[in-house]
Structure 1
Amino acid sequence: MAFAPTPQPRTSAAAPAVNTRVALAVVTTIFFMWGFLTCLNDILIPHLKAVFELNYARAMLVQFTFFGAYFLMSLPAGRLVAHLGYKKGIVAGLVIAGIGALGFWPAAELRIYEAFLGALFVLATGITVLQVAANPYVALLGPEQTSSSRLTLAQALNSLGTTLAPYFGGVLILSSTVKSAEQIAVMPQAEQIAYRVQEAQAVQGPYLGLGIALFLLAVFVFLFRLPALTETTEQADHSKHTLREALSHRHVMFGVLGIFFYVGAEVAIGSLMVNYFSLPEIAAITEEKASKYLMAYWFLAMVGRFAGSAMMVKLSPRKLLATFAAGNIVLLAITMSNTGMVAVYSLIGVGLFNSIMFPTIFALSIERLGPLTNKASSLLIMAIVGGAVIPLLQGMLADRIGLHHSFILPLLCYGYIIFYGLSGSRPDASAAKGA
């Protein structure tokens, strides 16, 4: 999934243009890495669910921890980047994320689920710092009039990471999960313990490799002579306004809920897709094979982002948003009322219609806000915590009514987005005057 860019600061006239293209190439690899790490959670969930014999609600604590860290650490991350600057902030984010990735090694040795969650929280904290530092830095790497194209390129690399993560995660992690719960139950106790240990350790190699890659990237960024850019701070103009003042505008308030429900629905579907496709009545395939379909889900989101961007040149963003949300409701209704490959393909198709939702909701929510834009942006970014709450709620629902019918929850989330596109996104009179 893509996150909105931080409002753009001004560039320094002294920034050496000679390094700009190379610097952009370096920084966009960071977008790829955090997209890869974020989507790898969708592989981690079914693996840890099998290792620790978790119900769906407990398995969803992976996303609750990850996106909860984003919610809790976004403001401290902003202060850290303001203190260190963009370049050192990026380095700090990479190092913190690397420490979190290395934490998977002792967690696997201890075979304690909470230890995995602790390592994941540290990893997510590092990614949060990267979000805060890298987005504005990319915006500054060149002329102001081309900043949007640079951010689009960087977000495309983020989408590439989310597309490739399921493939590598399936091969490196899920390929070792070859026994069903029934097969494990009839094994002798000693063999069961040995098998669980082996399964837990399957994450060690991949996350150790990711940790090393993050540290090496941190060293490279630290040593690389990135262009010197003017830092941004919240000046007195922004301090006059409050978050409550921004939230008083109806399209901001409804937009915060829109981001909450959209991110929650997107993350919940991706998190449960591997387990869903593995069900006997759906596709009855291995988790490794199911991860390939998850890859298609994220690939369609990447394709739809570019297609939707072109469509919005001629079509109303509000109507397109409502239409795409309606499309997802139809697809979810199809998957819940069918079995076999019809249920599989209809759920994968949701990725295509997810594509434009985050940037469109975000843009409509900050429309005509003037000096309140930064405060509204902060609220919208914090609403990404929906990625922690909705998957957990769907997990609890799946434990009660079954995974097949638990998709009623994201369906309702998309119902709200239809309302937002058609009505809730329209600014009130005070916003229309530039408030």
Structure 2
Amino acid sequence: MPARAATSHPLALAVTTAVFFLWGFLTGLNDVLIPHLKAVFELNYARSMLIQFTFFGAYFVMSLPAGRVVARLGYRHGMVAGLIVAGLGALAFLPAAQLQSYALFLGALFVLASGITLLQVAANPYVSLLGDEAGASSRLTLAQALNSLGHTLAPAFGGLLILSVAVLGADAFAQLSTEQQIHYRADQAAAVQLPYLGLGLTLFALALFVYLFRLPRLGETTERDLAAAPGYAATLAHRPLRLAIIGIFVYVGAEVSIGSFLINYLSRPEIGAMSEAAAANYVSYYWGGAMLGRFGGSLLLRVFAPAQLLMLFAAIAASLLLTSTLSSGQLALWSIVAVGLFNSILFPTLFTLGIQGLGPLTARGSSLLVMAIVGGAVVPLLQGLLADRIGLQPAFVLPLACYAYIVWYGWQHGRSAAAARAVQA
């Protein structure tokens, strides 16, 4: 198969990848926020997973409205609106920390994630249109590599600024006076203020830059086009899209679930026996693997069939996760961290295979695929419930099942594509 052109709009792709980087950074900070707020508010695993449930639940609630906003504003202004909304959510962390309210933290996360939902709905299809359809998976994988770079840097950044302050155990906390407990909780909650203030200002600055940069209009779907196009029922009639929606749901669920529990998992005596701040560095390795895999995968996807690579990478990820679940020590540690490398091409490949051939239904299909990111809310919460009942390590059987579905999807899509080629021949 001949190599595919990367893009016919390199500057537009470069600007858009900056947006991918920043929302990856914001999402990656959740992996640090979870153990921090778990300790501050003395949460169990299930309640701490409300962070991811709220964050990724926003994708489900806001995806269809986001599709309408993007249809009304266009891809460029849709990205600007998403950056502004995300900036407001980041600034909302300041009063949440001041009032020491877990509920307000969750509310701020919902606003932040609503902005990222807008970015997802606008930026993913936009990147896929910046060149020929055959190279869409390669381009989106490259953009997602910058997203993974944000994920990679966020845990180290958050570990330095948020987890650097020692968290007291329940017994040590109980020995403090009432006044000391109040000051302690205030200091712990305030540790998140500076990082999110900086992020809020950065989001506003990037919104202004994207607004001023004249991104080309490519395949814009207007409100009139959306009204004239068949509805969501007709869009869901496309079987590849339906299966890709499930694939996005389970993939994001597995990826987020592993990242969410990684600090708690690696700090366990039988696995890594390290502090939470030290474990945060391995979360960076996990997302860094995805970044490296996406840079390499972007090249591989120009040569090999996307469905074949999807099946192969998902199978290796499942094998590594099974190894970690059945082992301990350094083998368990590095096998689960290595899963990130093979997560690399899964999301962009599932996304582009899902919207392939949708034509005027692409905007609706994109909204449905972004809605499926709610898997990042559901699967970690279910794993948290499992971990509270059967232990954290055995609970990784849930993301293992998610990877098994993606292996099947890659095989099924490849078989369908081969059958279609045989009919055409």
- Pick the TM interval, shorter chain: 0.7 to 0.9
Counterpart check, 1:349 vs 2:359: no
- 1:362 aligns to what? 351
Report how far residue 140 of structure 1 moved: 6.8
Contact 2:221–2:360 (Cα < 8 Å) also in 1: no
List aligned pairs for 1:363-402, cutoff 5 A: 363-367=352-356, 374-402=363-391
- 1:226 aligns to what? 214
- 1:339 aligns to what? 328
Gaps of 5+ in 2: 1-6
Contact 2:244–2:351 (Cα < 8 Å) also in 1: yes
Counterpart check, 1:254 vs 2:243: yes
Contact 1:31–1:157 (Cα < 8 Å) also in 2: yes
CA distance in 2, matches of 1:430, 1:174: 53
CA distance in 2, matches of 1:375, 1:114: 32
- 2:117 aligns to what? 128
Gaps of 5+ in 1: 1-7, 12-16
CA distance in 2, matches of 1:342, 1:60: 26
CA distance in 1, matches of 2:13, 2:357: 31
- 1:414 aligns to what? 403
List aligned pairs for 1:5-404, cutoff 5 A: 21=11, 25-135=14-124, 151=140, 153-222=142-211, 224-227=212-215, 229=217, 231-233=220-222, 239-367=228-356, 374-404=363-393
Where 1:347 maps in the other structure, the secondary structure is: helix
- 1:4 aligns to what? none
Bigger CA drift: 425-434 or 120-129?
A: 425-434
Change (3 A) 1:234 1:87: closer
CA distance in 2, matches of 1:137, 1:424: 24
CA distance in 2, matches of 1:74, 1:161: 22
- Listed one character per residue, the Cα deviations across residues 91-121 of structure 1 (whole Å, up to 9, x for unaligned) are 3222211111111011011111110000111
Contact 1:255–1:424 (Cα < 8 Å) also in 2: no
CA distance in 2, matches of 1:361, 1:34: 19
Report how far residue 65 of structure 1 moved: 1.0
Change (3 A) 1:311 1:145: closer
Report how far residue 263 of structure 1 moved: 0.9
Report how far residue 57 of structure 1 moved: 0.9
Supply the RMSD in Å over aligned alpha carbons: 3.2
* TM-score calculated relative to the size of structure 1: 0.85
CA distance in 2, matches of 1:237, 1:65: 29
Contact 2:307–2:413 (Cα < 8 Å) also in 1: no
Contact 1:254–1:425 (Cα < 8 Å) also in 2: no
Q: 2:412 aligns with which of 413, 423, 428?
A: 423
Change (3 A) 1:92 1:118: same
Where 1:280 maps in the other structure, the secondary structure is: coil
CA distance in 2, matches of 1:116, 1:209: 17
Contact 1:167–1:295 (Cα < 8 Å) also in 2: yes
- 1:14 aligns to what? none
CA distance in 2, matches of 1:390, 1:148: 25
User: What code does the residue aligned with 2:272 have?
Assistant: A
Report how far residue 321 of structure 1 moved: 2.5
Where 2:23 maps in the other structure, the secondary structure is: helix
User: What code does the residue aligned with 1:122 have?
Assistant: V
Report how far residue 373 of structure 1 moved: 5.0
Change (3 A) 1:147 1:389: closer
Report how far residue 350 of structure 1 moved: 0.7
CA distance in 2, matches of 1:237, 1:178: 51
Report how far residue 237 of structure 1 moved: 8.7
Bigger CA drift: 25-34 or 64-73?
A: 25-34
Where 1:83 maps in the other structure, the secondary structure is: helix
CA distance in 2, matches of 1:319, 1:146: 15
CA distance in 2, matches of 1:177, 1:356: 37
Report how far residue 143 of structure 1 moved: 9.4
Contact 2:138–2:297 (Cα < 8 Å) also in 1: no
CA distance in 2, matches of 1:359, 1:146: 12
* TM-score calculated relative to the size of structure 2: 0.87
How many residues get paired? 416
Contact 1:238–1:372 (Cα < 8 Å) also in 2: no
User: What code does the residue aligned with 2:52 have?
Assistant: Q
- Listed one character per residue, the Cα deviations across residues 105-144 of structure 1 (whole Å, up to 9, x for unaligned) are 1101111111000011111111222233344555677899
Where 2:221 maps in the other structure, the secondary structure is: coil
Change (3 A) 1:309 1:89: closer
Report how far residue 323 of structure 1 moved: 2.7
- 1:5 aligns to what? none
Report how far residue 385 of structure 1 moved: 1.1
User: What code does the residue aligned with 2:379 have?
Assistant: I
Contact 2:71–2:226 (Cα < 8 Å) also in 1: no
Where 1:407 maps in the other structure, the secondary structure is: helix
Contact 1:31–1:158 (Cα < 8 Å) also in 2: yes
- Listed one character per residue, the Cα deviations across residues 323-367 of structure 1 (whole Å, up to 9, x for unaligned) are 322222221222122222221101101111111212222333345
CA distance in 2, matches of 1:131, 1:258: 17
Contact 1:257–1:383 (Cα < 8 Å) also in 2: yes
